């Protein structure tokens, strides 16, 4: 799994053992009753996050913004969107989160800004070729960089848009209202260092680097993963290591495993990186009832430096992206998981976890068991811990960004505002209605999904092998069964997963573990000892997942207990 074995101070590697919870301030809890979530609301709910057991929160963009891309269109990198609060509340949030041992990861959207950012307004008016104009990427010839793909295919026809004011075309990898910053301009690079300093000095623990493969452009290339981009990230990393050790970069690089892994550099670029290709393959394996998509993608994943870590996830605030699959695989995924054509968007599917899995509790548990046991730091998307539904009839990706469902009360306990005032409507679909799917109700029922998640999280925190162990797939004849071990130091965990909706037998070779006892991880029940030269037999219920700690049975002969002899001298009357 790891290339080197260098020792790093443990406190700097906090992200390896983390469990990250992703949320949008506006969607979590409205503290002032105006229909939009805010810092005040999040502060009220920090205890909930602590109770769930997560160790870090990733906050989606909270900056001033026209919100045409839900905040990924930033108009000011140094303040807070007024609807959510102010910088003083942000500082309180940091203190309160840290007091609860929760790390805070924020967004650094540095590939592009909003077209409303003063830099862009200044650029379009500045003379051609001036440093101010060159904060962004301009051309007179829109056939330039023609080998670069369009990401938001449902919305944009070209990566160039004409600007009347500037009388030139400007470059954008995403929406046309998100012009790309020009990293060829050293002044732009300086701006990014300034931003980092500002937020680090306030005390943030990490940054998610949005859309990081696209920073530089070069003719004749596809404009992704360029050496210039890697060189810039290494400079940024060095700066953070020198001045703010422990602050983490989490790269959003939606690429095939090789390219994705390149963002770790030699352990001198990004600390973490989402494993995008794993995610759709978990869903494929489940549907196909075959472990191959999972084992294959891990086989294609290169070893990474010892101080680096993948982040793995089932769902997030975007569509379930199908960019990193083949055309056939994409067709298969659409056919299976996008039953309503409205669910398709760009190259993906806009559904939350529960609706993707037909609200099947066994499948939801199984997918979470994979999320928590495969290598990497798990990232949970807010609301998925209670099985929230979605609304594909809302625009863009809004259907998976509706208010968090806290209780069966008005507006799902998210806000006291008039329901018409909410930033997005709550989920009213009878199957996922907030009157039944909500935190309050699930908290009271220890059989709920919320409690299941809590238990998995608690267990994960007990064993370092989850965050740091290697990965070793075990040979099993039955392809519907996935079995693997994770070993770290002297601890080995064993996972056996039935991807089928029917019961399955599994003979598993536990080579090297004869004399070990599989102890079921949740109950502590001991299973029969592993004997030499024999495969171990498991009977698995439909969509079953079984987790074990492999404990070495002591074979040394313990001498029979003997009562100590006490020599008492008898004095006196006798």
Q: Which of 22, 30, 38, 69 binds ligand NOJ (CB under 6 A)?
A: 69
Contact between 272 and ligand NOJ (CB under 6 A)? no
Report residue 12: phi and psi, to 5°. Answer: -80, -15
Q: Which residue bears the tokens 């536990």? A: 510
Rounded to an integer, what distance in angstroms lies between the CA atom of residue 185 and that of residue 126?
Answer: 15
Rounded to an integer, what distance in angstroms lies between the CA atom of residue 232 and that of residue 215?
Answer: 9
Per DSSP, helices labelled H in 244-380 are 257-261, 278-288, 292-299, 327-337, 353-356, 361-373
Q: Output 72 or 332, the one with its CB closest to ligand NOJ.
A: 72
Q: Output 54 or 250, the one with its CB closest to ligand NOJ.
A: 250
Q: Output 251 or 465, the one with its CB closest to ligand NOJ.
A: 251
Helix (H) / strand (E) element for 242: namely: helix 227-243
Q: Output 12 or 67, the one with its CB closest to ligand NOJ.
A: 67
Q: Cα 446–450–452 angle (5° rounding)?
A: 70
Q: Of 59, 60, 52, whose CA–CA distance to 100 is shortest?
A: 52
Q: Residues binding ligand NOJ: what is the number (CB under 6 A)? A: 9
Q: Which two tokens stand for residue 14?
A: 């906090």
Q: Output 213 or 467, the one with its CB closest to ligand NOJ.
A: 213
Q: Which of 21, 48, 58, 72 binds ligand NOJ (CB under 6 A)?
A: 72
Contact between 180 and ligand NOJ (CB under 6 A)? no
Smallest distance from ligand NOJ to CB 384, Å: 16
- Helices 186-202 & 227-243 angle (0-180, nearest 10): 30
Smallest distance from ligand NOJ to CB 478, Å: 38
- Helices 278-288 & 292-299 angle (0-180, nearest 10): 150
Q: Of 58, 32, 56, 55, whose CA–CA distance to 44 is shortest?
A: 32
Q: Output 253 or 338, the one with its CB closest to ligand NOJ.
A: 253
- From the list 22, 210, 385, 398, the catalytic residue is 210
Rounded to an integer, what distance in angstroms lies between the CA atom of residue 221 and that of residue 142?
Answer: 15
Q: Which of 58, 62, 169, 174 binds ligand NOJ (CB under 6 A)?
A: 174
User: Is the separation of the CB atoms in 484 and 471 below 8 Å?
Assistant: yes
Q: Which two tokens stand for residue 113?
A: 């800004």
Smallest distance from ligand NOJ to CB 317, Å: 6
**CA gyration radius, the chain:** 26
242 included as an active-site residue:
no
- From the list 252, 269, 384, 398, the catalytic residue is 252
Smallest distance from ligand NOJ to CB 507, Å: 43
Q: Give Cβ neighbours of residue 430 (< 8 Å, ≥ 6 apart).
A: none
Q: Output 72 or 381, the one with its CB closest to ligand NOJ.
A: 72
Site for ligand NOJ in 308-327 (CB under 6 A): 317-318
Smallest distance from ligand NOJ to CB 517, Å: 45
Q: Output 24 or 463, the one with its CB closest to ligand NOJ.
A: 24
Smallest distance from ligand NOJ to CB 101, Å: 27
Q: Which of 57, 74, 123, 211 binds ligand NOJ (CB under 6 A)?
A: 211
Smallest distance from ligand NOJ to CB 389, Å: 20
Site for ligand NOJ in 146-165 (CB under 6 A): none
Smallest distance from ligand NOJ to CB 236, Å: 18
Contact between 545 and ligand NOJ (CB under 6 A)? no
Report residue 467: phi and psi, to 5°. Answer: -85, -25
Per DSSP, helices labelled H in 394-544 are 439-443, 449-462, 465-468
Q: Which residue is nearest to ligand NOJ (CB)?
A: 72
Smallest distance from ligand NOJ to CB 20, Å: 14
Contact between 263 and ligand NOJ (CB under 6 A)? no
Smallest distance from ligand NOJ to CB 139, Å: 21
Contact between 210 and ligand NOJ (CB under 6 A)? yes
Q: Output 211 or 357, the one with its CB closest to ligand NOJ.
A: 211
What secondary structure, in 3-state letters, does 109-156 show? CCCECCCCCHHHHHHHHCCCCCCCHHHECEECCCCCCCCCCCCCCCCC
Q: Output 61 or 378, the one with its CB closest to ligand NOJ.
A: 61
Q: Give Cβ neighbours of residue 311 (< 8 Å, ≥ 6 apart).
A: 20, 250, 272, 273, 274, 275, 376, 377, 378, 379
- Helices 278-288 & 327-337 angle (0-180, nearest 10): 60
Burial category of 533 from C-beta neighbours within 10 Å (exposed 0-12, middle 13-18, buried 19 and up): exposed
384 included as an active-site residue:
no
The residues that are catalytic are 210, 252
Residue ranges that bind ligand NOJ, judged by CB under 6 A: 69, 72, 109, 174, 210-211, 252, 317-318
């Amino acid at each position: 799994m790891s290339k080197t074995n260098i020792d790093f101070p443990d406190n700097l590697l906090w992200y390896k053992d983390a469990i990250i919870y992703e949320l949008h301030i506006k969607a979590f809890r409205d503290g002032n009753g105006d229909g939009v979530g805010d810092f005040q609301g999040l502060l009220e709910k920090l205890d909930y996050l602590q109770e769930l057991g997560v160790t870090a929160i990733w906050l989606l963009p909270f900056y001033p913004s026209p919100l045409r891309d839900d905040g990924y269109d930033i108009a000011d990198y140094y303040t807070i969107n007024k609807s959510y609060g102010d910088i003083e509340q942000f500082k309180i949030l940091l203190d309160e989160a840290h007091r609860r041992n929760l790390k805070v990861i924020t967004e650094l959207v540095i590939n592009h800004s909003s077209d409303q950012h003063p830099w862009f307004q200044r650029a379009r008016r500045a003379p051609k070729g001036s440093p101010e104009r060159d904060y962004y990427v301009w051309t007179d010839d829109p056939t330039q960089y023609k080998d670069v793909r369009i990401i938001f295919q449902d919305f944009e026809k070209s990566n160039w848009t004409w600007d009347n004011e500037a009388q030139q075309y400007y470059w954008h990898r995403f929406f046309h209202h998100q012009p790309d910053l020009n990293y060829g301009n050293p002044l732009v690079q300086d701006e990014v260092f300034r931003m980092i300093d500002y937020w680090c000095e306030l005390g943030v623990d990490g940054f998610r680097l949005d859309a990081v493969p696209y920073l530089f452009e070069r003719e004749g290339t596809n404009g992704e993963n360029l050496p210039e981009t890697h060189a810039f990230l290494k400079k940024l990393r060095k700066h953070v290591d020198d001045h703010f050790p422990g602050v983490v970069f989490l790269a959003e690089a939606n690429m095939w495993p090789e390219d994705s892994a390149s963002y770790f550099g030699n352990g001198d670029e990004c600390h973490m990186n989402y494993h995008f290709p794993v995610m759709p393959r978990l869903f494929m394996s489940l549907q196909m009832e075959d472990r191959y998509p999972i084992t294959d993608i891990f086989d294609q994943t290169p070893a990474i430096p010892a101080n680096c870590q993948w982040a793995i996830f089932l769902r997030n605030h975007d569509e379930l992206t199908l960019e990193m699959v083949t055309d056939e695989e994409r067709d298969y995924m659409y056919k299976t998981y996008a039953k309503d054509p409205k669910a398709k968007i760009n190259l993906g599917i806009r559904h939350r976890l529960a609706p993707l899995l037909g609200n099947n509790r066994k499948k939801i548990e199984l997918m979470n068991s994979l999320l928590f046991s495969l290598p990497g730091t798990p990232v949970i998307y807010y609301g998925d811990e209670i099985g929230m539904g979605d609304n594909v009839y809302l625009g863009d990706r809004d259907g998976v960004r509706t208010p968090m469902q806290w209780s069966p009360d008005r507006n799902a306990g998210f806000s006291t505002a008039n329901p018409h005032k909410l930033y997005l409507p709550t989920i009213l679909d009878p199957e996922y209605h907030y009157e039944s799917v909500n935190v309050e109700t699930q908290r009271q029922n220890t059989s709920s999904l919320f409690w299941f998640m809590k238990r998995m999280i608690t267990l994960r925190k007990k064993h370092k092998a989850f965050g740091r162990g290697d990965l070793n797939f075990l040979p099993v004849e039955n392809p519907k069964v996935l079995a693997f071990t994770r070993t770290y130091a002297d601890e080995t965990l064993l996972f056996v997963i039935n991807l089928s909706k029917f019961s399955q037998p599994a003979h598993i070779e536990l080579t090297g573990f004869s004399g070990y006892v599989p102890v079921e991880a949740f109950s502590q029940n001991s299973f029969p000892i592993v004997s030499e030269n024999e495969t171990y037999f498991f009977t698995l219920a439909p969509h079953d997942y079984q987790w074990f700690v492999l404990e070495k049975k002591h074979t040394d002969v313990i001498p029979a207990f003997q009562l100590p002899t006490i020599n008492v001298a008898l004095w006196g009357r006798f």
